[in-house]
């Protein structure tokens, strides 16, 4: 699947983020500029299912009651919908809703009555695993006394219902699952809905993956997560593209963007942050989690083709960069293979060193990181990159760099060989 640059231009008019380095776009950008990373030793109540080592990018100082208070003052009708439709929310729902509300407010979607042709695409699948496992344990003890709402709340579509009812969206609605590639896959689907005319605009939300201890143990057993034996302080364990990288560090967070055609955005006087130029999703044809340089290259190549650009047009890549040895080396090879002699001129960094790996939300959060760097003319540092796994790529190192570029790639690669890449451009 691709998004085509020859279709009506699609622009980003709203952004929202809740992450370990910022609870909104302003604080998120400030942390990237200043090199303030959010990976730390976890407290007992933070991301409780994560096994040893207790390290991650947990969101701190977040208050759902403050989000509701702000809504009550600025958008009382939306506040009423939120308190009416949302009973006993989970933390994952609160973080996801907060990012979606930010993006919707920024794009002016909260200032109108419910909109019949604004779509909603949520990135992620199996989003409520902690809730499902906890209910299963209760079922083992008392089958007749699980909550009656479980019959629909275990489905990912429950989040669609919550968001659409609170924000007031009545266009197309769906979830897109692609493991760690879900965020980019959702952006591609959202772009196609808008550029094809099936929707006037689309809210794309990277939802929080609420994994249980069962999923974490599975990831640990296949060697995906950083092991207990790494002799490093917590803030140094996430090391994208470094020879000492040993596995990914989990992150908590959500990101959301509103996309629409340039014509619609200009007609209603919306602020335009960037252009979503093109994108693609490609498969390797494997059921395994092993990365493939060829599949990653084909995804980037297809995204550039859809955007009607050449590799030489790209000035920066926000890499998938998970801090896993095999994954980082494969991505380096894919970049080298695609960009040829231009590979040494393209800046590369990985936002996961700041946020941890936020799974299904990663693609949307990292798109936002790409946009704020594109618009702000800077490239965030990767201080833990001390000994790169290759010596012929242009990594951003320990210090923030100046970066004036017109187009950037943002990569997301998932288990089962699902590879995705999107192209964003500075709006002019």
The whole-number pLDDT of residue 2 equals 58
Pairing of strands 118-123, 201-206: parallel
Ordered DSSP codes for 65-132 = HHHHHHHHHH-HHHHHHHHHH-SS--HHHHHHHHHHHHHHHHTTGGGSS-BTTEEEEEE-SSTTHHHH
The whole-number pLDDT of residue 394 equals 97
The whole-number pLDDT of residue 365 equals 98
Q: Which two tokens stand for residue 168?
A: 């007031």
Q: How many CB atoms lie within 10 A of CB 205?
A: 32
The whole-number pLDDT of residue 87 equals 85
Ordered DSSP codes for 143-205 = GGGS-TTHHHHTSTHHHHHHHHHHHTB-S-EEEE--GGGHHHHHHHHHHHHHHTTS-SEEEEE
pTM, rounded to two decimals: 0.97
166 Cβ partners below 8 Å, 6+ apart?
A: 78, 81, 82, 85, 86, 97, 101
CATH 3.40.47.10 domain span(s) along the chain: 7-274, 278-425
CATH class of 7-274: alpha beta
pLDDT averaged over 10-residue windows placed end to end, the chain, 428 residues: 62 98 98 98 95 96 97 96 92 98 96 88 96 96 92 95 96 97 98 96 97 96 94 96 97 98 95 97 93 97 97 98 97 97 94 98 98 97 98 96 95 97 95
Query: CA-to-CA distance for 53 and 226, rounded, in angstroms?
Result: 8
The whole-number pLDDT of residue 8 equals 65
The whole-number pLDDT of residue 5 equals 46
Q: What is the DSSP letter of 296?
A: H
Domain spanning 278-425, CATH architecture: 3-Layer(aba) Sandwich (3.40)
The whole-number pLDDT of residue 115 equals 86
The whole-number pLDDT of residue 66 equals 97
Query: CA-to-CA distance for 184 and 311, rounded, in angstroms?
Result: 19
């Amino acid at each position: 699947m691709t998004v085509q640059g020859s279709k009506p231009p699609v622009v980003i008019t709203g952004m929202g983020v809740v992450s370990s380095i910022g609870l909104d776009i302003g604080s998120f950008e400030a942390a990237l500029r200043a090199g303030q990373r959010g990976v730390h030793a976890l407290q007992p109540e933070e991301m409780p299912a994560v096994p040893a080592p207790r390290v991650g990018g947990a969101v701190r100082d977040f208050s759902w009651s403050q989000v509701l208070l702000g809504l009550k003052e600025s958008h009382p009708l939306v506040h009423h919908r939120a308190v009416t439709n949302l009973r006993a929310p989970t933390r994952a729902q609160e973080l996801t809703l907060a990012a979606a509300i930010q993006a919707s407010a920024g794009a002016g979607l909260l200032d109108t009555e419910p909109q019949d042709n604004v779509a909603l695409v949520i990135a992620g699948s199996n989003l409520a695993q902690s809730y499902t496992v906890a209910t299963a344990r209760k079922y083992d003890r008392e089958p007749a006394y699980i909550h009656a709402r479980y019959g629909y709340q275990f489905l990912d579509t429950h989040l669609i219902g919550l968001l659409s009812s609170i924000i007031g969206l009545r266009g197309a609605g769906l979830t897109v699952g692609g493991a760690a590639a879900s965020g980019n896959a959702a952006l591609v689907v959202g772009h196609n809905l808008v550029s094809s005319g099936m929707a006037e605009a689309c809210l794309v939300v990277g939802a929080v993956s609420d994994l249980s201890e069962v999923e974490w143990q599975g990831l640990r057993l296949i060697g995906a997560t950083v092991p207990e034996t790494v002799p490093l302080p917590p803030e140094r364990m996430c090391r994208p593209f470094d020879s000492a990288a040993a596995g990914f560090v989990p992150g908590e967070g959500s990101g959301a963007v509103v996309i629409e055609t340039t014509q619609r955005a200009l007609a209603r006087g919306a602020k335009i942050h960037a252009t979503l130029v093109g994108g693609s999703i490609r498969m390797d044809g494997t059921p395994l989690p092993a990365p493939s340089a060829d599949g990653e290259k084909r995804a980037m190549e297809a995204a550039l083709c859809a955007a009607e650009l050449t590799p030489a047009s790209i000035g920066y890549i926000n890499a998938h960069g998970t801090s896993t040895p095999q994954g980082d080396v494969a991505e380096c090879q894919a970049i080298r293979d695609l960009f040829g002699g231009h590979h040494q001129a393209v800046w590369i960094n990985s936002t996961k060193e700041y946020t941890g790996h936020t799974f299904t939300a990663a693609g949307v959060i990292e798109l936002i990181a790409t946009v704020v760097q594109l618009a702000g003319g800077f490239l965030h540092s990767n201080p833990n990159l001390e000994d790169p796994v290759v010596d012929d790529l242009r990594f951003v190192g320990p210090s923030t760099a100046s970066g004036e570029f017109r187009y950037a790639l943002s990569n997301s690669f998932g288990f089962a060989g699902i590879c995705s890449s999107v192209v964003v451009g500075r709006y002019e």
